[in-house]
Amino acid sequence: MSNPSTATADTSTQLLKSSITFFHIVFMVTAAAAPLVVVSAYIPISIAWGAGVSTALTYAATTLILLVFTVGFAQMAKRITSAGAFYTFTTQGLGKPTGLAVGLTVMSAYSMISPAIAGGFGFYTALLLETYLSIKVAWYWCSAASLVLMWIISTFRITYGAKILSVLLIVEVLIIAALCLTTTVAGGAEGQMPHVFDPSGWNAAPAIGVGFFLAFWSWIGFETTAIYGEETMDPKKAVPRATYIAVFTLGLFYTFAAYAGLVGFGSNSTTQAETLVDQYFFELADIYTFHGVRVIMDFLVVTSFFACSFAFHNNATRYFYSLGRDGILPKALGRTHAEHKAPHIAAGVQAVIALFTVALFAFGGGDPLLHLGTWLPIFCTLAVIGVQLIVSLAVIGYFNRIGRDEPLAWWKTLLAPALGAAAQSVVVFLLLKNITFLADSETLVVKMIPFYVIAIAAVGFVYALYLRGSHPERYAMIGKLHDDELEDALVDTDYVGEYEDRART
């Protein structure tokens, strides 16, 4: 192992400390949720074939479930700061084999979300170019160009990407908020509809499992606040706070948007959603605002897809970096740029994987929305929700070990995580039950999606056991606490044996 004091600039492994603020995290995580994409695509689909007129209630219920999950997640984030996030949390709570299983699973999920969303970017960009400039370009060239641009931007300081995402997010949120507010204030087609928040409406929903899947998919990425902990000012306060704000504000925003969408067409909402689908809110813009708003939304949908794909490119990059730094994946992935301290090699690997994935679907004749933009998200959502379930259990395991001395600790580190795990279990069940309906396909590739997730997790678990027997020094690095975290762990817990072994290693 090289001595840090003599390491060359080319072998830097440190991220840029204290380079981003609390607000940067909020913006990046919210951009990953792609509010305009959710409003323009997922909410109408839920109204038509998912939760029906209970779509707003479904988003409100999902907000509560994720807030409960966040309680335990925030307690871990206050004590552990790591670019590995879920991977490190699970290792500390449930052990190295389970931790590595989670690490590979969530890394794979985030790695696939970027090309999945890039497919949507390519489709809408090609449509935009043809509509407004009469230029015909295949969707996959647009997708590929966006992924290369993400690669370039991500080799610079994280603040560059944060600023870009912040600007794109603010613009799209303002335009959606203005549309929804105008529609609601105008009274929509038939006046206000408070009855859509009656839980009995779920009984008449077309497919409530589909509705909850779409709602959870709308939040995918909120938990990545912890990924940026090593690059954040005062991470132990900023990360938990940013997570709560991201979950709550997105929940409020989505619930209000879904309600406005229902009010806009009144009792005809379901029928209109089935007919209009992704043009649902664009039609509302023409009815309740002016045509210029629709034109602006046409452009913002493209930037929203880009922001979302870019955010997950960064997320996957930091998991590659974390596993590379720990020596689980090739160590080159754990290197950072000499000047910008960005994980540039990991970013390049992620970009290549995303480009290959897009090419695979393009040469196979896949549709960018129906196949690339649907099949991969199902895999990603199932993987992330499953990981969140395990992380909830890891919170319980971690605090069982170190003790619960704070006020309300039983709620924060035991009851809330248990409730979160139970809720995630229900969502996993609903997703598995409706998987072929969601994919609109009965093909073997789709039916095998749950097995892909299980297989990736199994590889991580078995690989950890192999390292334990054959390479104990590498096994000791799984989920390692870096820098001051090791000292904090020694101070904060009585379970010091494992950490002393790590320090000697």
Integer-rounded Cα Rg, in Å, for the chain is 22
DSSP code, position 10: G
Residues in a beta bridge with 189: none
Tell me the backbone φ, ψ of residue 232, rounded to 5 degrees: -110, 145
| Model pLDDT, residue 15 | 64
- Count CB atoms within 10 A of the CB of residue 47: 30
Alpha-carbon 397 to chain mean position:
24
Q: What is the pLDDT of residues 301-358, one digit of tens each?
A: 898 888 889 888 988 998 898 889 888 889 899 888 777 677 889 999 999 999 999 9
Q: Rounded to whole angstroms, how far apart are CA atoms 350 and 153? A: 13
| Model pLDDT, residue 14 | 65
Tell me the backbone φ, ψ of residue 331, rounded to 5 degrees: -60, -20
DSSP code, position 476: T
Q: Is the CB of residue 189 less than 8 Å from the CB of residue 263?
A: yes
Task: Quote the mean pLDDT of the chain.
Answer: 85
Tell me the backbone φ, ψ of residue 34, rounded to 5 degrees: 50, 70
Positions of the chain with pLDDT under 70 = 1-20, 83, 157-162, 165, 223, 340, 482-505
Fold of 12-504: Amino acid/polyamine transporter I (1.20.1740)
| Model pLDDT, residue 53 | 94
Q: Rounded to whole angstroms, how far apart are CA atoms 98 and 291? A: 53
Q: Rounded to whole angstroms, how far apart are CA atoms 178 and 181? A: 5
What pTM was estimated for this model as a whole? 0.83
Amino acid at 196: V
Q: Rounded to whole angstroms, how far apart are CA atoms 359 and 115? A: 10
Q: Is the CB of residue 460 less than 8 Å from the CB of residue 468?
A: no
Q: Rounded to whole angstroms, how far apart are CA atoms 105 and 127? A: 34
Amino acid at 378: I
In terms of phi and psi (left: phi > 0; alpha: psi -120 to 50; beta: otherwise), the region of 183 is: alpha
Q: Any idea how long the chain is?
A: 505
